[in-house]
Structure 1
């Protein structure tokens, strides 16, 4: 009995859409189901709207700096309603592009929730059952709210873009990149921001020196960052939310936002009934080719909880098509992935941290921190960090960490060199571009320490 489709994709985010389009280009008959909006976390409630809010929040400092540079400007105010209207219009436009791309690729779209009925068929919320030779689960992840008394009064990053008005004050709970990014965004938009993190320093897993520079920069810009602090209980009181923290301090805020982790969207999909194994937190367990224990079912992106980055999900989708539809078994290379954290100050990173590298082999650390020219002239205290982690034995640059304006742009280019296995001497042979911040990456001659 023939299948209705060669491939059925569950989830219309970046990874699922790319897998569907590339598979269809091979001549395969492809369908995709999405229960919410096309574009997934990144386009609808993640990277794209967040980065636009980062841009918006930066203008408060730009106006101040402009006056320092001799421009006469009148004081202005941020209009959240105007920005939000334009933001959602842009998200609508992007969703339309995703739909057109799928349609132009001859991918059949089902605006419905899909679950797996058996290894070769899916059940839609419309009641329709569809068979497929291969199934990809690309349902992404979602924010989770901690089990704290009164936590139901808080919001998550999903809700930020939907607020009717900007709060005057907000408590952000968490120390990861989402919490820290929104602390900077909302602070820049004029909100009084307090951030709680239960650990010793924000951005756990990133280079210690780099995350300390980020934390200091956030505080200098006005974020009330409180470490070793968490919410003990909270409740709705009048127009605000009363919070008692784990140190016994009580305070009220207009909003409380939780950014305390994400969970894979694997619930209620019929995965385990179809023989798929789930791991910690509901992550779908897959092999190097994104294949589950059930040979006809694959999974990509955040639902597998490997590396939660949009470009990684896209790479995984393309590797799946190479493997299954092009007969070219392709593993996804998850090593040396450059990434950026759009905190204020911004962090760009690729490769090993100083702490990770030091546990593997002897390394030399080349690091410099300074006031960049543009901020120094404007009278700001912002500091930049440029850092290389270098193998003593091979001289290979094992890691590069940048804290600076546009660090994400810089790390994309530095990531090419690190991925190619460049040595410290390769960096040294490169002529500096002057005057720039990034020139420090090729002018640091002596290590500051060994690890």
Structure 2
């Protein structure tokens, strides 16, 4: 049977873009469907605009820090509208750049949402839900990413998600953030740095569950030092829009009923695969459900679903939900299916970062994970906490934490963790060492660059 395309990709995010261009380079006839801006969550409403806002939020701290270095105090005022406009201009530029890359690669871009009509046929749908075209493909890759979810709480429709954060016409004066993951923590630092009063509601005692305990504690303490009103052990019971346009939040904290009013509520309690409207049942694609109740597309190590010709990569499979992982999966899929270079990925020692304030980054096993895996007696911890040299003149009580998790007998470095400025930049380099199987002796034998924060990783005793 002949088909319109050798490969049809649903979703022009990180994974879909990488897979389509790589497959086309092998001579495949490829099309990709995207009903939103090209670039996916990372470029449009995630990593890129968020990091730009992180940069923007740090200037308020820099102005204050400069006084300790002899500069006169600065009275600066943020122009919110100008910041949002500049961020979105850069997002649009990058989106157009990705479109040009597709054209150069010979990939046909179809500006529609795609859904299955049957296992080999796709309907292309416009924003009004009208079918504009039907196409067939020999192989189909699902790369639709994830979407923010909201809890089942009365009035939760009055909250926004990270998708809307970059589109707010006015800066909130007082803002509540719900959730304890990296997105909530990052926006808490961004908005506080930009001058918004931030209340951060946590269900547990600390943010960033799943990270090393020192990272959880270090970020939490740093948030408090930066003036964020963190309220742990809170259960949100309802939101209500007032006549004045404020939002009243009702919550319970340690069994006590409380309430407060804010201008804006950001709901950042988690994300889930964006599977709605794909028509997966028409294609017979099987789904899986994890222990948290998150439904995702089930795939094998080569990203194949239960249907031999249908594949999925990235956040819609709910494996490791990071942009570089989706890109690597997309390329591995294309190499395997179209390049005659079958390969899989290793999901060990994937570095990750939280662009919180203070910043945090991690690679490998946490202390708790290492001890659970090897036994407490077989793990050795090397740790240092100190005030960075930069703040010796600013007067701020900032603290850096650096930590290595080491297997006691072999001295194999199992994990590296850091809280402090430039943590992501530093851990990226250390990730190479862990990937190569470095030992503590290798770290000790490495000459330090002085004076730096990074040198602490090779001088830990």
Q: TM-score range by the shorter chain?
A: over 0.9
- Greater Cα offset, 267-276 or 368-377: 267-276
Aligned equivalent of 1:427, options 438, 443, 448: 443
Q: Does 1:291 align with 2:304?
A: yes
**Separation in 1, partners of 2:3, 2:282:** 21
Deviation at 1:121, TM superposition (A): 1.9
Give the equivalent residue in structure 2 for 1:268.
277
The CA deviation string for residues 134-166 of structure 1, in whole angstroms up to 9 with x for no partner, is 100000010011111111111111111000111
- Alignment TM-score, normalising by the size of structure 1: 0.97
Q: Secondary structure at the match of 2:38?
A: coil
Q: Secondary structure at the match of 1:127?
A: strand
- Alignment TM-score, normalising by the size of structure 2: 0.95
Give the equivalent residue in structure 2 for 1:438.
454
**Separation in 2, partners of 1:136, 1:115:** 12
**Separation in 1, partners of 2:288, 2:52:** 34
Deviation at 1:334, TM superposition (A): 1.1
Q: Does 1:253 align with 2:262?
A: yes
1:21-420 alignment to 2 at 5 Å?
A: 21-125=21-125, 126-237=131-242, 238-247=244-253, 248-280=257-289, 281-361=294-374, 362-420=378-436
Q: Secondary structure at the match of 1:8?
A: strand
- Greater Cα offset, 185-194 or 68-77: 68-77
Q: Secondary structure at the match of 1:155?
A: coil
The root-mean-square deviation of aligned C-alpha atoms, in Å, is 0.9
Q: Secondary structure at the match of 1:128?
A: strand
**Separation in 2, partners of 1:84, 1:401:** 33
The CA deviation string for residues 424-450 of structure 1, in whole angstroms up to 9 with x for no partner, is 0000000111000111101012xxxxx
Asked whether the 8 Å contact 2:247–2:261 carries over to 1, the reply is yes
Asked whether the 8 Å contact 2:22–2:335 carries over to 1, the reply is no
The CA deviation string for residues 49-107 of structure 1, in whole angstroms up to 9 with x for no partner, is 00000000000000001111111243011111111111111111001001000011111
Structure 2, unmatched stretches of 5+, are 126-130
**Separation in 2, partners of 1:32, 1:206:** 36
Deviation at 1:230, TM superposition (A): 2.4
**Separation in 2, partners of 1:355, 1:272:** 40
Asked whether the 8 Å contact 1:173–1:230 carries over to 2, the reply is no
**Separation in 2, partners of 1:426, 1:6:** 48
Give the equivalent residue in structure 2 for 1:449.
none
**Separation in 2, partners of 1:168, 1:266:** 35
The CA deviation string for residues 373-412 of structure 1, in whole angstroms up to 9 with x for no partner, is 1012210101000000000121100000011101000010
Asked whether the 8 Å contact 1:272–1:278 carries over to 2, the reply is no
**Separation in 2, partners of 1:66, 1:214:** 23
How many pairs does the alignment contain?
A: 445
The CA deviation string for residues 317-361 of structure 1, in whole angstroms up to 9 with x for no partner, is 000011101122211211110111000000010000000000111
Structure 1, unmatched stretches of 5+, are 446-451
Give the equivalent residue in structure 1 for 2:6.
6
**Separation in 2, partners of 1:94, 1:157:** 19
Segments ≥4 residues shifted beyond 2 Å: none
**Separation in 1, partners of 2:79, 2:195:** 11
**Separation in 1, partners of 2:230, 2:74:** 31
**Separation in 1, partners of 2:84, 2:277:** 33
